Amino acid sequence: MSFALVRSLLWTIPLCFSWTAVLVTLSFAIMPLASADTLTAIWRFWARSMLFLCGARVTVRGLENLTPGQHYIFASNHLSLIDSPLLVAHLPRTLRFLAKRELFSIPFMGWYLGHQGHIAIDRGDARSTLRSMAEAARVIHDQQRSVLVFPEGTRSMDGQMQEFKEGAALLAIRAATPVVPVGVVGTERVLPSKAKEIRSAPVELRIGAPLDVAGLDVKQRAELTQRLRDAVAALIA
């Protein structure tokens, strides 16, 4: 049994769960009175805490590509469970996730995700997907939030980027909002898929130039999806 596994089982994983429980309890306690910004600050603090406890040494590149005050659709590759904390902690926007519907069925987590305005998507139901896209567009325009999407739909099991689904491109076109390619590098070394141990490692978050969607219609979503995938692939190369 490796030292990393022993440390993970006896220290890192219990500490992560305990700290998460503390912050979740705090969020529930103050939720009736707290503003959305306060809850977002707690969420971001939790994300930074998880990265610290897991030993992720983070470098962020490309923040200069983002225009202050502009809301975006961020589209990232997906390697590890710590991708979400990485993006929440270091993307300088208040984010709403497009997340698979199954997460909304988990006790407490589902209620919290819904209360915070995150959007469930059922990839097996075309009509439900369209409703989710309409809701995400409303969040961008009415609530002035940015939306985060993992276009692969799930984590990569082998570290290789999978094909992108068209949801991010469809949302960008329908919402007339620039879509930003985001490359995550190294998180699979910290917490690999199906692994029981957590290892300290360098991690990079690489933010690309936004892709303009002005003048595009939904018939061009496949083309935009390919452009987006190519941009993310270039970032992680």
Dump pLDDT digits (tens) for 61-117: 999 999 999 999 999 999 998 999 999 999 999 888 887 777 777 666 666 677 677
pLDDT reported for residue 57? 96
> Mean pLDDT of all residues in the chain?
86
Nearest Cα to Cα of residue 229 among 184, 187, 181, 186: 181
Residue carrying structure tokens 């290892």 = 199
Domains of the chain: 56-236 (3.40.1130.10)
Query: Which pTM does this prediction carry?
Result: 0.88
Q: In Å, what is the CA distance from 102 to each residue of 77, 79, 110? A: 20, 19, 9
Q: 72: burial class by Cβ within 10 Å (0-12, 13-18, 19+)?
A: buried
pLDDT reported for residue 176? 92
Q: What is the rounded distance in angstroms from the CA atom of residue 107 to the CA atom of residue 66?
A: 36
Quick check: 50 and 187 in contact, CB under 8 A? no
Q: What percent of the chain has pLDDT over 70?
A: 91
Q: What angle do CA 137, 140, 145 make, to 5 degrees?
A: 150
Dump pLDDT digits (tens) for 4-45: 666 666 667 787 888 788 877 887 778 777 777 888 888 899
Which ranges constitute the DSSP H helices of the chain?
Answer: 3-7, 13-30, 36-54, 83-90, 109-115, 126-142, 167-175, 187-190, 221-236
Tell me 11's DSSP state: I
Quick check: 147 and 141 in contact, CB under 8 A? no
